[in-house]
């Protein structure tokens, strides 16, 4: 078809240009996806090769070797989202701070104290979200902690399901019937030998005890599938308290109540689950 007018010729040129542009974008996206898949496959193979080389030089029992190999495959098959530190270098400072504040504040919304402090003291909220929270990507069937070890951080669940029990959890090949952590089954209930477990999901938390007193884990926690955690260490809370005096006063009152409740709780009833203070 012969183009008769200038407008038709211009429209034809624009259509051709747009077609080339969209084709280039599509090709670029597909190429990047393929490159990412190849890179992930290469990284997984490199990790497995390193593990194999180490095990050749340092033989271990076959059961442990199988666990290590399985963990390496799970670890490298999961694409871990970028951390906030990785984003800090590519965003303007004010946008980075706003991103951290909006992303992390909803995660702590169920806690008795922290949301209140954030709503009252904007500078405290900014410091908490930008500098104090640390992200922890957890692999499928990875154990977060076991009884007896020193606890250093409050853990919030950002994504995924975490199974917690005061008894040692069964091997990862077994199955666990979980309940909401707010409806944890008493250890005396159930069949002999049965593990009473609780299930934590998004916005639930564990181990805040360590913020207010010296604490060692009394149970075991494990990720059912890939999960993301948000960690708040005791040292970071102390740093916040030194800077924000009004918030520090409320932190101190809450800490006194929490420690008092823990001291009045029978040892066999203590757990790493949330401290049940009344609002």
pLDDT at position 78, please? 54
pLDDT at position 234, please? 94
Same domain, 147 and 261: yes
Q: Give the closest residue to 154 by CA, choosing from 172, 124, 132, 170.
A: 132
pLDDT at position 224, please? 87
- Paired tokens of 16: 């051709």
pLDDT at position 18, please? 79
Same domain, 31 and 147: no
Any idea what the CATH number is for the domain that residue 171 is in? 2.60.120.10
* Domain-embedded: residue 116: no
Three-state SS for the chain is CCCCCHHHHHHHHHHHHHHHHHHHHHHHHHHHHHHHHHHHHHHHHHHHHHHHHHHHHCCCCHHHHHHHHHHHHHHHHCCCCCCHHHHHCCCCHHHHHHHHHHHHHHHHCCCCCHHHHHHHCHHHHHHHHHHHCEEEEECCCCEEECCCCECCEEEEEEECCEEEECCCCCCCCCCCCCCEHHHCCCCCCCCCCCCCCEEECCCCEECCHHHHCCCECCCEEEECCCEEEEEEEHHHHHHHHHHCHHHHHHHHHHHHHHHHHHHCCCHHHCCCCCCCCCC
Give the domain range for residue 51. 21-77
pLDDT at position 186, please? 37
* Domain-embedded: residue 202: yes
pLDDT at position 249, please? 96
pLDDT at position 189, please? 39
* Domain-embedded: residue 25: yes
Among the three residues 32, 61, 77, which one is the final residue of a domain in this structure? 77
Same domain, 179 and 59: no
How many domains does the structure of the chain reveal? 2
pLDDT along the chain (279 residues), means of 10: 67 78 75 70 70 74 75 59 79 88 94 95 95 92 93 95 88 43 37 69 96 96 91 95 95 96 94 85
pLDDT at position 184, please? 35
Same domain, 146 and 244: yes
| Contact criterion met (CB below 8 Å) for 173 and 156 | no
pTM (two decimals): 0.69
């Amino acid at each position: 078809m012969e183009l008769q007018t200038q407008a038709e010729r211009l429209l034809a040129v624009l259509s051709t240009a747009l077609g080339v542009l969209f084709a280039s974008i599509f090709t670029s996206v597909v190429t990047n996806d393929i490159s990412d898949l190849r890179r992930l496959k290469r990284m997984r193979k490199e990790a497995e090769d390193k593990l194999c080389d180490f095990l050749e030089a340092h033989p271990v029992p076959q059961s442990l070797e199988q666990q290590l190999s399985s963990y390496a495959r799970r670890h490298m098959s999961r694409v871990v989202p970028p951390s906030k530190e990785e984003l800090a270098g590519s965003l303007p400072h004010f946008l980075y701070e706003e991103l951290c504040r909006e992303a992390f504040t909803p995660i702590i919304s169920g806690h008795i104290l922290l949301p209140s402090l954030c709503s009252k003291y904007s500078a405290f909220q900014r410091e908490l979200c930008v500098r104090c929270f640390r992200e922890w990507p957890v692999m499928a069937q990875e154990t977060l902690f076991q009884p007896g070890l020193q606890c250093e951080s409050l853990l919030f669940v950002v994504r995924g399901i975490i199974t917690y029990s005061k008894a040692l959890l069964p091997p990862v090949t077994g199955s666990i019937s979980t309940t909401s952590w707010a409806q944890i089954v008493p250890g005396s209930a159930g069949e002999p030998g049965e593990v009473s477990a609780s299930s934590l999901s998004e916005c639930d938390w564990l181990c805040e005890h360590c913020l207010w007193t010296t604490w060692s884990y009394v149970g075991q926690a494990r990720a059912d599938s890939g999960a993301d955690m948000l960690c708040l260490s005791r040292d970071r809370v102390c740093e916040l308290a030194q800077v924000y005096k009004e918030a520090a006063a409320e932190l101190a009152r809450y800490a006194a109540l929490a420690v008092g409740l823990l001291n009045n709780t029978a040892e066999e009833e203590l757990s790493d689950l949330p401290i049940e203070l009344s609002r």
